[in-house]
Amino acid sequence: MKPNDRQLIIADTGPLIALAVSGQLKLLQQLFEQTLIPEAVLNELCISSSRPGAVALASALDAGWLRAVASEPPAKRLLRTLDQGEAEAITLAGHQNLPLLIDEARGRIAARKEGIKFFGTGALLIQAKRQKLIPEVKPVLDQMKASGYRISPPLRQEILDRAGEAFE
């Protein structure tokens, strides 16, 4: 799924951290009306820590466009293969009938099985470039990688191809 302009979304932990550490968390605010997270994701973000990106995430929560909300307990089948944050994010997306921003492969497989529409950070960056919010995707991916965010070389190349930056 491609992110649509100014809708509500649910987000998992990984993409939020990746965007925060690369200085691109603001893209969520520019592309969506509000980003909702379940409480388990809020806990995983470690907002009160000195981790990279924590200040940006805390600021987004204070501003209100990133908002933690209560979620129903996730189904046990989700918790067999996913961490609490991913399971709660999928559950919340299902109950709210909202798209889910998630990157982790197991989480995407589970979301698909649950009938949840989802997209990844790569799709979000491509949409941001199309809307001229960022000039290029590659520098953002480079910053994410430098901050420790893992992305497979084939997926990186696919994202760059789709962004029209297939020069690697």
| Ranges of residues in the chain whose predicted pLDDT is under 50 | 1-5
User: Measured between alpha carbons, how far is 52 from 41 in angstroms, rounded to an integer?
Assistant: 16
**pLDDT for position 167:** 62
Distances in Å between the Cα of 42 and the Cα atoms of 29, 116, 159 are 17, 21, 27
Give the C-alpha distances (Å, rounded to integers) separating 136 from 4, 19, 122, 129, 142.
19, 15, 12, 6, 11
pLDDT at 166: 74
CATH topology of domain 7-162: Rossmann fold (3.40.50)
- What is d(CA 74, CA 83) in angstroms, rounded to the nearest whole number? 10
What is the average pLDDT score of the chain?
A: 91
Q: What does the pLDDT read at residue 5? A: 46
* Contact indicator for 154, 128 with CB cutoff of 8 Å: no
pLDDT of residue 6: 57
Measured CA to CA in angstroms, residue 106 lies from 12, 37, 139, 143 at distances of: 12, 18, 27, 24
Q: Round to whole Å and give the CA distance between 10 and 92.
A: 7
Tell me how far apart the alpha carbons of residues 168 and 153 are, in angstroms, rounded to a whole number.
Answer: 10
Residue type present at position 68: A
The reported pLDDT for the residue numbered 85 is: 95
| CA–CA separation, 14 and 121 (whole Å) | 9
